[in-house]
Amino acid sequence: MHILPILAFTTLFATYGILLYAFIKAQRTTRELATELSRVREQQHQDKKELTARSQLDTLKDEFISTVSHELRTPLTSIRGALGLLSSGTIGQFDAKALNLLRIATTNTDRLIRLINDILDLERMDSGRAPLQIRRCSLRDLCQQAIETMTPMADSSSVHLELVPFTVAQAASPEALFFDGDADRILQVITNLLSNAIKFSPAASTVRIHTDATADSILLKVVDEGRGIPTDKLDSIFDRFQQVEPADARQHSGTGLGLAICRSIVQQHSGSIWAQRNLVKGTTLYVMLPRTTRSSDISLPAALPPRGEGSILICDDDAGIRTIVTEHLTRQGYSVIEASSGDQALMLAAETQVEAILLDLYMPGLSGWETLQRLRNNPATANIPVVVLSVLSSTLRPQLTGDAQGWVQKPFNENLLFAELGRVLHQGDGPAYVLLVEDDDDLASVLIASFQDAAVHIDHASTRQEAIRQCINRKPDLLILDLTLPDGDGFSLVEWLRQQPPLRSLPMVVYSGREISDADMARLQLGPTEFLTKAKVQPHEVEELVLSMVQRIRTKFADLTTAGPAA
């Protein structure tokens, strides 16, 4: 009879124990959940602080790069420009010891400029502030351009460059080596790889470029015959400031950034780059890039430019030189007539209306000297300006002939060629008027000094307000504009110019210490506009570009006024 109360009590006690255990467990779980929730919230708060700090660091880095870009590039451009003027003999002649000191200063300034430009380029690419300009490219054409660019360096090291011919399969399918990419960036990759290969190649060796393609990708190989790269360094050479040996940086004057830049560009193209030690000697650098096969891969020959009035006659027995010069001139809007001999040049000059003649001196048969003399003796051709293209230095010009109006030494710089053409074809009333807007007085002095022998008058404005005042007083033929000004910036000056009907189409050269994005380029566009970066482009190159732009503008204006209003 006492069992039931005992069982009831036992059951009740057990139930109470279970409930108590569940309550304690629930309390513990609640505390654990609250602790975990607090930890998660703390972690989220910490992550948010880290993201904010990282964003602030990125902003600071961008500001630092922008500051370095302007504050270092501008004075370096002044220094390099001043050294260039001294070395060229423009200011006066120096003895051998002084010239050697100038050479040392110039070489090391160029080295510092390359280092700064490489660092800034790499940072811009890594931060995504250097978007690719994608278009259809020919790998073979880019390889050929890179070889032409690097041949002088290879020749000075007695190294031969060779673009290995097509295989039979490739020759039958010329579209195989077309791909979508940024031509300038890929050219930079190939040039860097060639430069690296030349530096570490012995004299009398050959650096070879091989090209290949599959349905989905293209392959580039640069093979040298140098000492080779140790197996443990094959990956690290693509890191920043890495050299195979510590002494390489001093011996070869490299920045240690060339291959890092190559890797960044290739990765932007979703490609890959790697190195492999050759079995016998040397190293092979591989670049693989994706490609897209389509029916438009096959390039069609470009339409020939019209050969009407205002043509430039190029006379050279070297077909390769004629091709290169013609390509440069047609890109600048000139029409070109080619002559392979002096006799042919005389006939074409007499029968065709020619603006100017580019004349080689050393030709079989009728030499350039004889051709020039006969041009001057014929009333029909006596007044045609002649620019000599010669391997001889222009310092020998007075001893050789006084009948040529211009002189460009081979191998020529295309900007210098345009500048000489612009000078001999100058048709304006008096010198062209150029306004330089630059807040750095030292750089302004160097730029003005580089124009002292040119057919231009250049004024300087160091502030936005001064530039506005000078534009009101006299309309410039062309504006050279820095974007950083003490009382505003170049963008606000361009906005003001755009509101003035006589100035809204003003030709302009934007010469800035910082890289300019595509969006900013659109904001700065007035009339014909060129964009240059300080330290990457020297003052004498600014002069060459300005002279060629002034001539093209004045020639176009003369053509319009001669044609008169349409009927």
Task: Tell whether the torsion through CA atoms of 192, 518, 305 and 347 is positive or negative.
Answer: negative
Instruction: Spell out the residues 6+ positions from residue 329 whose beta carbon is closer than 8 angstroms to its own.
Output: 312, 314, 336
CB atoms within 10 A of CB 109: 19
Instruction: Spell out the residues 6+ positions from residue 207 whose beta carbon is closer than 8 angstroms to its own.
Output: 154, 159, 160, 161, 162, 194, 197, 198, 201, 222, 223, 224, 225
Mean pLDDT of successive 10-residue stretches along the chain, which has 567 residues: 58 61 65 73 74 69 64 78 79 81 82 78 71 82 89 90 72 63 89 89 91 85 86 76 57 69 87 85 89 44 38 85 80 80 89 85 83 86 83 53 67 65 60 87 86 81 90 88 87 89 84 81 84 78 79 56 43
Q: Which residue is listed with tokens 């029968």?
A: 351
Task: Give, in order, the Cα–Cα distances in Å from 531 to each of 99, 494, 495.
Answer: 33, 14, 17
Task: Please list the alpha-helical segments (H only) found in 127-218.
Answer: 139-156, 168-172, 183-199
Query: What distance in Å separates the CA atoms of residue 120 and residue 62, rounded to the nearest whole number?
Result: 10
Residue-level pLDDT at 518: 79
CB 62 within 8 A of CB 127: yes
Look at residue 33 and give its three-state secondary structure: helix
Residue-level pLDDT at 306: 36
Q: Which helix (H) or strand (E) holds 462?
A: none
CB 454 within 8 A of CB 480: no
Angle at the Cα of 229 from the Cα atoms of 261 and 233, rounded to 5 degrees: 65
Query: What distance in Å separates the CA atoms of residue 459 and residue 378, rounded to the nearest whole number?
Result: 41
Query: What distance in Å separates the CA atoms of residue 244 and residue 392, rounded to the nearest whole number?
Result: 40
For residue 433, the cross-strand partners are 457
Task: Give, in order, the Cα–Cα distances in Å from 74 to each of 436, 472, 480.
Answer: 15, 28, 15
- Residue 442 tokens, joined: 């030292």
Query: What distance in Å separates the CA atoms of residue 203 and residue 159, rounded to the nearest whole number?
Result: 6
CB 60 within 8 A of CB 518: no
Q: Which residue is listed with tokens 């302009």?
A: 508
Residue-level pLDDT at 294: 39
- Residue 435 tokens, joined: 């306004």
The residue among 538, 514, 549, 544 whose CA lies nearest residue 446 is 538
Residue-level pLDDT at 172: 42
Query: What distance in Å separates the CA atoms of residue 134 and residue 126, rounded to the nearest whole number?
Result: 18
Query: What distance in Å separates the CA atoms of residue 112 and residue 120, rounded to the nearest whole number?
Result: 12
Ordered domains of the chain (ranges, CATH): 135-297 (3.30.565.10), 311-424 (3.40.50.2300), 432-561 (3.40.50.2300)
Query: What distance in Å separates the CA atoms of residue 209 and residue 286, rounded to the nearest whole number?
Result: 10
End-to-end CA distance of the chain: 132
Residue-level pLDDT at 18: 64
Q: What are phi and psi of 438, to 5 degrees?
A: -150, 125
Cis before 411 (ω within 30): yes
Angle at the Cα of 302 from the Cα atoms of 301 and 308, rounded to 5 degrees: 130
Look at residue 215 and give its three-state secondary structure: coil
The residue among 454, 541, 561, 533 whose CA lies nearest residue 117 is 533
- Residue 536 tokens, joined: 């990457």
Residue-level pLDDT at 26: 65
- Residue 224 tokens, joined: 């040298």
Q: Look up residue 296 and give its DSSP letter.
A: G
Query: What distance in Å separates the CA atoms of residue 305 and residue 332, rounded to the nearest whole number?
Result: 11
Look at residue 325 and give its three-state secondary structure: helix
Query: What distance in Å separates the CA atoms of residue 359 and residue 371, rounded to the nearest whole number?
Result: 9
Instruction: Spell out the residues 6+ positions from residue 490 whose beta carbon is closer than 8 angstroms to its own.
Output: 437, 481, 482, 483, 484, 510, 512, 524
Residue-level pLDDT at 297: 39
Residue-level pLDDT at 123: 74
Q: Beta-strand (E) ranges in 362-431? A: 386-390, 406-409
Listing DSSP states for 223-281 in one string gives E--SS---GGGTTGGGSTT--SSTTHHHHH---S-HHHHHHHHHHHTT-EEEEEE-SSS
Query: What distance in Å separates the CA atoms of residue 272 and residue 262, rounded to the nearest whole number?
Result: 10
Task: Give, in order, the Cα–Cα distances in Å from 184 to each of 135, 145, 187, 191, 276.
Answer: 10, 11, 5, 10, 26
